[in-house]
Amino acid sequence: EAQVTQNPRYLITVTGKKLTVTCSQNMNHEYMSWYRQDPGLGLRQIYYSMNVEVTDKGDVPEGYKVSRKEKRNFPLILESPSPNQTSLYFCASSLSRGVDEQYFGPGTRLTVT
Amino acid sequence: GQQLNQSPQSMFIQEGEDVSMNCTSSSIFNTWLWYKQDPGEGPVLLIALYKAGELTSNGRLTAQFGITRKDSFLNISASIPSDVGIYFCAGDLFNNDMRFGAGTRLTVKP
């Protein structure tokens, strides 16, 4: 089954404690991206990757890091989480950037206290 | 960055009623997409629109790409309880930059 998986689905952590949210897709997609979803703001792109070892900033990259060492994986790293990063995070993948259908993961709800 | 203005923010309707929501922007978009997000899930693509003026249907859903390329609407006819969720518009700017609306939360009363 074609899918995008994220782990963990729920995470509660404290300010400053480094964390990683994993994302994996099994569709051999080149393009992957991370979004955060906040009430009234919709989906905002954090980072995206056009291919292995190619990453770029989206609209709201501050406080986040990503890496793309393999085509299927695109982890999101918060080196020093802060309460304003409490949000619902989605990973997505598609064949290419833009018009191709993006497949979204199930989401990771992060709470930073 | 440029965001899309999506309205209404929320809707409460009776089962069987028709629904209409729309997105507007001051920018011209290459493509318009409509997604639905079920509770606890990620968004799923409903309809993709590629040409100005295009009208496309998917079952009870109909969407149109505005002639000016700056707006789009989504209609749902004869709503049913499983239509509940958040509907997002998304636009692809000509530089392959995707933008999302803030979403319309739909509640359907049986």
Neighbours of A37 (CB within 10 A): 22
For residue B11, CA distances in Å to A31, B19, B108 come to 34, 8, 8
pLDDT at residue B39 in the model? 86
Averages of pLDDT over runs of 10 residues in chain A (113 residues) are 93 97 96 92 91 92 97 97 97 79 92 97
- The DSSP bridge partners found for residue B56 are B63
pLDDT at residue A9 in the model? 96
CA distance B75 to B85: 14
Residue B94 or A71, more confident: A71
Residues of chain B above pLDDT 70, percent: 95
Would the CB atoms of A98 and B40 count as touching at under 8 Å?
no
pLDDT at residue A99 in the model? 57
pLDDT at residue A37 in the model? 93
Shortest Cα–Cα distance, B31 to chain A (Å): 7
Would the CB atoms of A42 and B103 count as touching at under 8 Å?
yes
Dihedral Cα A22, A3, B32, A53, nearest 10 deg: 40
pLDDT at residue B2 in the model? 54
**Do residues B100 and B90 make contact, with C-beta atoms less than 8 angstroms apart?**
yes
pLDDT at residue A98 in the model? 63
A102 touches chain B (CB under 8 A): yes
Q: Which residue of A has its CA nearest to B38?
A: A106
pLDDT at residue B38 in the model? 94
Phi, psi at B83, each rounded to 5°: -75, -10
C-alpha B76: how far from chain center = 10
Closest among B42, B31, B7, B35 to B21, alpha carbons compared: B7
A34 touches chain B (CB under 8 A): no
CA distance B21 to A35: 23
CA distance A69 to A87: 26
Q: Which residue of B has its CA nearest to A98?
A: B96
Contacts of B33 in chain A (CB under 8 A): 101
Give the residue carrying structure tokens 């968004």. B43
Quick check: B40 pLDDT over 90?
A: no
Quick check: B87 pLDDT over 80?
A: yes
Quick check: B18 pLDDT over 90?
A: yes
Residue B85 or B30, more confident: B85
Helix, strand, or coil (residue A63)? coil
pLDDT at residue B68 in the model? 94
Tell me what the pLDDT averaged over chain B comes to. 92
